[in-house]
Amino acid sequence: MFVSAFVSALSLFAVASAQSSASTTSAAASASASVVAIAAAGSSGYSYMGCYNETTEIAGTSGARALSGGKMETGNDTTVAACLQYCGESNYQYAGLEYSKECWCANYLSALSAQLPESNCSLACVGNDTELCGGYLTINLYNLTSKKSSSSGSSSKGAAASVAASSWTNVLGAGVMALTLGAAL
């Protein structure tokens, strides 16, 4: 009883914080309404798979992400190419762009994440408004289809490596808390 009330409070918090930044995002999007964003073709060995659902709000997931167990970054310079490079550096099977600025990398896609119509992924990337970076709880998904041989000699760092540490901590904190609660049940 207490636990499920707490979990609901957590997801309400998540929705509230997502929505408060959603209004900022759509304000920014309508400022450049003349640009039509499209799903970018893949790069860094990834191919575009389509628009997929986030799973955090699906009943029974305890807030688990569609792409979990990997790494993520977010920032004001998010582009598809930067995200695919970031995930590709560690050979993650999947890379997903969500909510204009989030880049998620994981080796597995949740079986609960359904493919959606392309129109459900309609937010332009903060770092390039001609390409799409998912939507609110929706993901432009990329799959690693040509794995690079482990010639990891290149010290590729650069802009993609600058992670917004505080956002990641918040996301991770909520995720870990939800997982811990899930395990306790």
Binding site for ligand NAG (CB under 6 A): 40, 49, 53-54, 57-58, 75-76, 79, 109, 114, 116, 120, 128, 130-131, 137-138, 143, 145, 164
Q: How far is CA 142 from the centre of its chain?
A: 11
How near is the Cβ of 1 to ligand NAG at its closest, in Å? Answer: 24
Residue number of the CB atom closest to ligand NAG: 57
How near is the Cβ of 130 to ligand NAG at its closest, in Å? Answer: 5
| Distances, alpha carbon 98 to alpha carbons 3, 28, 56, 157, 181, in Å | 29, 16, 13, 22, 25
1 versus 64: smaller Cβ distance to ligand NAG: 64
1 versus 107: smaller Cβ distance to ligand NAG: 107
Contact (CB, 8 A) for 160 and 66 = no
Contact (CB, 8 A) for 140 and 124 = no
How near is the Cβ of 6 to ligand NAG at its closest, in Å? Answer: 20
2 versus 40: smaller Cβ distance to ligand NAG: 40
CA distance 78 to 97: 9
What count of other Cβ atoms lies within 10 Å of the Cβ of residue 151? 6
How near is the Cβ of 113 to ligand NAG at its closest, in Å? Answer: 8
Two structure tokens written together for 179: 């997982």
29 versus 164: smaller Cβ distance to ligand NAG: 164
